[in-house]
């Protein structure tokens, strides 16, 4: 029996990883960040993902971060832990630790760098599935991994694979997966297509800018569910203007800087990410004004 306290219609922040002046995990600021986001309406946390710079963290840092998330959410909202790693052994270690901490589910990118066969990729997920009593969410992010998941992938037939985080602009693929596997939860992974992912079958979203402005995502969802698609599109377009600027600067460092502007200084991204210039910070500050009504 798969254990899960998952919010299948939730708005999850792809939680940032705060860093101190030495580049180490900043636990006190992490606590501040989670409290800030819960106060502003997030419905779940997805930690140690791309926005959390997971592959730039050590295994011990990833575990500590999850422990803090578990303490701060304290059963009030669910949290999902990204446990994808370069090795199956590390993925299992991180996944079993997440289960111990009370995660609602774990989520994994496929193994990368080596050109693994489909059978080897399936084996990686299968080994994690066997190691935990949690639901597993496939993290589909082909622009980073070079691997794309579709409805043809037999992994999705496993009942312990409870969903897919679809960080892809291919909404046709999303819709086909939903039609083939209606019992799976589809998580939108690109903030800029939240509205359109809902129309294709996504019921939840996990995003970088959810950290910054959860009310925007709620407003899009509420307008869409109320049948006011004109308003939903207007809000999505406003959000996209903001996101477009962050992407032009460098989305992850830019988004982290937004939090500093909102009063929670979580530090920069880890190297090899570059530090933002003064001009870039000014551009980001101006972009934040686009969504100021929702902050």
Q: Which of 124, 139, 196, 257 is catalytic?
A: 139
Has 139 been annotated as catalytic? Answer: yes
Cα 8 from Cα 220, distance rounded (Å): 17
Q: How many CA atoms lie within 13 A of 285 on its CB side?
A: 10
Query: Please, where are the H alpha helices in the chain?
Result: 27-39, 59-73, 88-101, 118-131, 142-145, 171-180, 194-200, 214-225, 229-249, 251-261, 278-288
Active-site residue, selected from the candidate residues 160, 165, 178, 256: 165
Calpha distance 193→122 (Å, rounded): 28
Question: How far apart, in whole angstroms, are the C-alpha atoms of residue 215 and residue 281?
Answer: 23
Q: Active site includes 281?
A: no
65 burial level (CB within 10 Å; 0-12, 13-18, 19+)? buried
CA atoms within 13 A on the CB side of 55: 15
Please list the residues that pair with 269 across neighbouring strands: none
User: Would you please indicate which residues are annotated as catalytic (active-site) residues?
Assistant: 139, 165
């Amino acid at each position: 029996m798969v254990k899960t306290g998952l919010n299948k219609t939730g708005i999850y922040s792809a939680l940032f990883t705060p860093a101190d002046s030495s580049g180490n995990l900043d636990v006190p600021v992490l606590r501040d960040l989670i409290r800030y986001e819960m106060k502003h309406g997030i419905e779940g946390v997805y930690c140690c993902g791309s926005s959390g710079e997971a592959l730039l963290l050590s295994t011990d840092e990833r575990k500590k971060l999850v422990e803090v998330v578990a303490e701060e959410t304290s059963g009030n909202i669910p949290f999902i832990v990204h446990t994808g790693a370069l090795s199956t052994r590390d993925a299992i270690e991180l996944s079993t630790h997440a289960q111990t901490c009370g995660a609602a589910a774990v989520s994994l990118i496929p193994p990368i760098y080596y050109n693994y066969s489909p059978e080897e990729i399936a084996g990686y997920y299968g080994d994690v599935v066997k190691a935990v009593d949690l639901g597993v969410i496939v993290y589909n992010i082909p622009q980073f991994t070079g691997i794309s998941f579709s409805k043809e992938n037999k992994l999705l037939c496993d009942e312990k694979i409870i969903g897919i985080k679809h960080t892809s602009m291919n909404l046709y693929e999303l819709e086909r997966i939903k039609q083939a596997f209606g019992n799976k939860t589809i998580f939108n992974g690109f903030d800029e297509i939240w509205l359109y992912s809902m129309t294709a079958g996504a019921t939840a979203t996990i995003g970088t800018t959810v950290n910054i402005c959860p009310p925007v995502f709620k407003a899009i969802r509420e307008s869409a569910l109320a049948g006011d698609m004109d308003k939903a599109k207007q809000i999505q377009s406003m959000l996209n203007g903001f996101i477009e600027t962050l992407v032009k600067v460098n989305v992850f460092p830019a988004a982290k800087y937004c939090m500093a502007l909102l009063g929670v200084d979580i530090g920069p991204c880890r190297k090899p990410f570059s530090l933002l210039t003064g001009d870039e910070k000014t551009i980001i500050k101006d972009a934040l004004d686009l969504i100021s009504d929702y902050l």
